[in-house]
A and B are shown apart, each in its own frame.
Chain A
Amino acid sequence: MKHLLSTHDLALPDALRLLDTAEEMAAVGEREIKKLPALRGRTVVNLFYEDSTRTRISFEAAAKRLSADVINFAAKGSSVSKGESLKDTAQTLEAMSADAVVIRHPASGAPARLAASGWIDAAVLNAGDGTHEHPTQALLDAFTLRRHWAKVAGTGSPGSDLAGMRVLIVGDILHSRVARSNVWLLKTLGAEVTLVGPPTLLPVGVDTWPCTVRYNLDEALADRPDAVMMLRLQAERMNAAFFPSTREYSRRWGFDDARLAALDTLGLGDTVIMHPGPMNRGLEISAAAADSVRSTVLAQVRNGVSVRMAALYLLLAGGTHDDPAAPTVRANPALSPTKEPAV
């Protein structure tokens, strides 16, 4: 694994390796000294062409906890506003010998272009590209779900998957890279995913995705899901009349107080409510739901740092001859194969 561009092509062993590593990183976050020397001397560039609070801060915290040097780059206030191309920016970063580039871009495929172009040697981590993918968000959602699922089952989460878990993803699927990344990853981990939203906010070709599609949130909730993931209504991408009014949207597809009460009525004590943030309180999620004990919003943010530490560590810490198929199991250098000449 050289880059982290999407969850679509993330195989199950790689996904589990990321989640298990994140579990160890989470333990570091609970210590008094929340720092590891693993990426000392490595440079991570946060290249953000789109606004972001939690993803950028989360990547920055993750890189710093691993002792990497962080350079933050926001398109606003940089030479990009003077017309610098992605290629020239990338080559500038290459000349400064960046080891990893965390990129968020409004154009779908920009991270893949950066990774495949040869403009730069660094590992590329997709932090959200257009309406394509947001893999670290899906990984942190999966991590949060896996911890919850393991707690419900009374087992430990390391090594486990999401087999049998039923997850609803509700809202603006059309514009959501979070939904796409989650569909692929949760499917890989064995969960059953159901998308719920107005037909106008479902993408063309959704019938080919490995999930079911429904239009009525109340009916979907009556099917007893284990987790409900509410998506943000992306006002900045609403360039057409997708629904009559926000009030109507909120009534039919928002997670309001009545639906929160319905979960209790249905006896779904273990169902959690997720939101990738930033939340439009009162629109797709009510304040009571966002602040309830079912809400995992803050746990998701906390887990985001652990998951991004895991991604940075697995992509950057190793040498150039990275071979995930043959992990070295011995911790003792006496037995490490590279230390001894072949006999």
Chain B
Amino acid sequence: MTVPAPHAGAAPRVVLAEADIDRALTRIAHEILEANKGSQDLVLLGIPRRGFPLAQRLARRIGAVDPSVDPRAITGQLDVTMYRDDLQRNPTRPPRATQLPPTGIDEKVVVLVDDVLYSGRTIRAALDALADLGRPRIVRLAVLVDRGHRELPIRADHVGKNLPTSSAERVRVHLEEIDTAGGRPVNEVVIEGGA
């Protein structure tokens, strides 16, 4: 996917550059290990699309701190499309793959990973999807950006950056695993639109 043309209105501004994203993810990786008192039973599940590369990056950092951890063996992807409450209000979207680590999620400490936390509805769908796949011991939530405007009683355990926004603005996360700009991979968080 290429970077979309800027929205009419205010020019897009970069709120997190590549180095900021790296620092935030390193801190979150340490927070996850600290909250869990080690890497015991950890499973990182990214929510498509950009939650998955974030989960992979976090797993690599956890593996760097604790060499007994194989980053690939604790990372998975959780598709929540079928569990959304707005399916009937949007055009049909094809589901994406759900891939769990070989150990499964029963009795594990599952950390859900997503790029932006907004209404909280994606996370509600993710919690429902998890319940159909197994019974984790604990479920935590890590997000790169929390932009507020929650519509459900959901909060993140680990936040890269709290970003006060207007609901007229759009927060876009670009990660090099998915996004390019002019053929170059990019890593940044930008705010577009707004008054």
Provide the bound-state CA to CA distance between A329 and B93, in Å: 8
Interface-lining segment among B26-34, B67-75, B118-126? B118-126
**CB of B176 within 8 A of chain A?**
no
- CB pair B133 A31 closer than 8 Å: yes
Inter-chain contact B82/A327, CB cutoff 8 Å: no
Q: Are B122 and A37 in contact (CB under 8 A)?
A: no
Interface residue count for B (Cβ, 8 Å)? 46
Would you call B111 an interface residue if the criterion is a C-beta within 8 Å of the partner chain's C-beta atoms?
no
**Bound CA span A12–B97, Å:** 21
B137 proximity list for chain A (CB < 8 A): none
Could you say which residues of chain A place their CB within 8 Å of the CB of B9?
343
Stretch from A106-114, A242-250, A266-274, A315-323 that touches the partner: A315-323
**Chain B interface, DSSP helix/strand/loop, else mixed:** loop
A interface residues, how many (CB within 8 angstroms): 40
Which of A314, A324, A333 is within 8 Å of B86, CB to CB?
Answer: A333
Let me know if A335 and B95 touch, CB within 8 A.
no
Q: Which residues of B contact A338 (CB under 8 A)?
A: 89-90
Tell whether A343 pairs with B193 under 8 Å between CB atoms, given A332-B116, A332-B118. yes
A314 / chain B contacts, CB cutoff of 8 Å: 92, 94
In angstroms, Cα B79 to Cα A125, docked, is: 27
Contacting pair A24 B194 (CB below 8 A): no
A37 and B91 contacting across the interface, CB-CB below 8 Å: no
From B47, B88, B168, B194, A331 is in contact (CB under 8 Å) with B47
- Report A's interface with B, CB cutoff 8 A: 17, 20-21, 23-25, 27, 31, 33, 35-38, 158, 313-315, 317-319, 321-324, 326-336, 338-341, 343
Some 6 contacts from A to B, beta carbons below 8 A apart, are A21-B95, A37-B82, A328-B91, A329-B93, A334-B119, A335-B171
